[in-house]
Chain A
Amino acid sequence: MLDAGKTDEALLEVNNIEVIYNHVILVLKGVSLKVPKGGITALLGGNGAGKTTTLKAISNLLKSERGEVTKGTIRYRGERVQDLLPSDLVKMGVVQVMEGRHCFEHLTIEENLLTGAYTRGIGRAELDADLEMVYDYFPRLKERRRSQAGYTSGGEQQMCAIGRALMARPETILLDEPSMGLAPQLVEQIFEIVKSLNEKEGYTFLLAEQNTNVALRFAHHGYILESGRVVMDGPAAALRENPDVKEFYLGVSDEGRKSFRDVRSYRRRKRWLS
Chain B
Amino acid sequence: MPDQLIFAMEVFLNGLMAGVLYALVALGFVLIFKASGIFNFAQGVLALFAALTLVGIMDGQVPFSHLINAVFGTDIHHFGWHVPALAAILLTMVVMVALAWAVNHFIFRHLVGQEPIILFMATIGLAYFLEGFGDIMWGADIKKLDVGLPQGINTVIDEVTYGIFGYGFFIDNLDLWATFVAALLVIALVIFAQYSKHGRAMRAVADDHQAALSVGVSLNFIWVMVWSLAGFVALVAGIMWGTKSGVQFSLSLIALKALPVLMLGGFTSIPGAIVGGLIIGVGEKLFEFAIGPMVGGATENWFAYVLALLFLVFRPQGLFGEKIIERV
Q: Could you list which residues of chain B lie within 8 angstroms of chain A, going by C-beta atoms?
A: 112-113, 197, 200-201, 203-204, 206-218, 322, 325, 327
Contacts and interface: CB of A to CB of B under 8 A. Distances in A.
A105 B215 contact: no
A255 interface: no
A85 B214 CA distance: 10
A98 B208 CA distance: 11
Nearest to B217: A118
B214 A102 contact: yes
12 contacts: A85-B218, A89-B216, A90-B215, A90-B216, A97-B214, A104-B211, A107-B200, A107-B203, A107-B204, A111-B203, A111-B204, A115-B201
A64 to B, nearest CB: 5
B103 to A, nearest CB: 19
Given A102-B210, A106-B322, A115-B217, A64 B113 contact: yes
Given A105-B325, A151-B325, A95 B214 contact: yes
**Residues of A in contact with B, size category:** 35 or more
B204 A115 contact: yes
Contact of A164 (B197, B213, B215, B322): B215
Contacts of A87: 213, 216-218
Given A118-B216, A119-B217, 14 more contacts: A61-B210, A65-B113, A87-B218, A91-B216, A98-B210, A102-B210, A103-B211, A104-B204, A105-B207, A106-B325, A107-B204, A119-B216, A154-B327, A168-B216
A96 B212 CA distance: 11
Contacts of A103: 208, 211
A90 B215 CA distance: 7
Given A64-B112, A106-B325, A118-B201, A95 B216 contact: yes
Contacts of A119: 215-217
A52 to B, nearest CB: 12
A95 B215 contact: yes
A115 B215 contact: yes
A114 interface: yes
Contacts of B327: 150-151, 154
B208 A59 contact: no
